[in-house]
Structure 1
Amino acid sequence: MLTRIKPYWPAILWAIFVLVICSVPMGGIGSSHLFFPGFDKLTHCGLFFVLAVLYCYGSIRKFKTREVRIEIAMKNTIVLISYGALIEMLQMYVFTWRSGEAADLFADTVGACMGIFGVLVTSNALNHESI
């Protein structure tokens, strides 16, 4: 069991970090003059972008390949969107000091798709590099 998840440890640690960040009470931070409207959505997008890159990196290491196959990328996308939905459900029903929003889930989805697309493009470019 441990050998199956070993390549995913960076992604697992980041996923725990995302869960902690999304569960802490924010207080009046959202109304602070230091943050612009939509900062929360940008944060969700960035957190899931990094999570997607780390998760794809784990998939590359697990399958001992130099690129992410399209079916693995689709599976990763489903897993990441499901994780985003889980966090929003937790914010709605468990972490009552936070609010679960569809817009946050959309930002999570955009970030995850951007990360996976970035990995696909980068690995394709590296594997087809002509010297």
Structure 2
Amino acid sequence: MKKTLKYYGPAILWALFILIICAVPFNTPGPPGLFFAGFDKMVHCVLFFVLSVLYCAGSIRKWNTRSIRIEIAMKNTIVLISFGALIEMLQMRFFTWRSGDWNDLLADAIGGCMGIFGVMITSNALNHEKS
């Protein structure tokens, strides 16, 4: 357990931040889009993009590789989408002041996949540069 926290500590802290943000009731007057239509989806996408980058960085350090392997990327994708689904289920069932939305889960998945893809491209480019 301690070893997992050593590698995935920043990702775990960011995941807790996401969970808290998604549990807080927002009682703002005006339209539900806050700043513009789709702002909520963009926030979900960015939060999960950062989470996936932190999670992939932990995976690279844990497995002591120079880049992320495809099987690790697939596992990370499943974990991130499952976490997004858990948040949406909690919003539907327990956080009654919030509403779970399939579109939020889609934004979570897109942000997570964008982050994993970005880490794969960046690590491959850095490794190609070193060789």
TM over 0.5, yes or no? Answer: yes
| Structure 2 SS opposite 1:129 | helix
Q: 1:97 to 1:63 in 2, by over 3 A?
A: same
Task: Tell me how far apart the structure 1 counterparts of residues 30 and 128 of structure 2 sit (CA, whole Å).
Answer: 45
Listed as ranges, the matches of 1:50-129 within 5 Å are 50-129=50-129
Separation in structure 2 between the aligned mates of residue 67 and residue 109 of structure 1, nearest angstrom: 21
Identity %: 69
Q: What are the Cα deviations for residues 32-78 of structure 1, in whole angstroms up to 9, with x where unaligned?
A: 78600100000000000000000000001101111100000000000
Shift of 1:30: 6.5
TM-score (norm 2): 0.95
Shift of residue 27 of structure 1?
A: 1.0
Structure 1 residue runs without a partner (length 5+): none
Distance change in 2, residues 1:87/1:48 (3 Å): same
Distance 2:119 2:29 in 1: 33
| Runs of 4+ with deviation above 4 angstroms | none
User: Structure 1 length as normaliser, TM-score?
Assistant: 0.95
Letter paired with 2:73: A
Distance 1:30 1:39, change over 3 A: farther
Evaluate the alpha carbon distance shift between residue 32 and residue 102 of structure 1 in structure 2; reply closer, same or farther with a 3 A threshold.
closer
Instruction: Give, as a single letter, the amino acid of the residue that structure 1 aligns with 2:112.
Output: A
Q: Distance in 1 between matches of 2:48 and 2:30?
A: 20
Q: Number of matched residues? A: 131
Q: Distance in 2 between matches of 1:4 and 1:33?
A: 37
2:127, 2:79 → 1: CA distance?
26
Aligned partners of 1:57 and 1:69: how far apart in 2? 12
C-alpha distance in structure 2 between counterparts of 1:30 and 1:108, whole Å? 25
RMSD over aligned Cα atoms: 1.6
1:3-31 Cα offsets, whole Å, 9 max, x none, are 13310000000000000000000112672
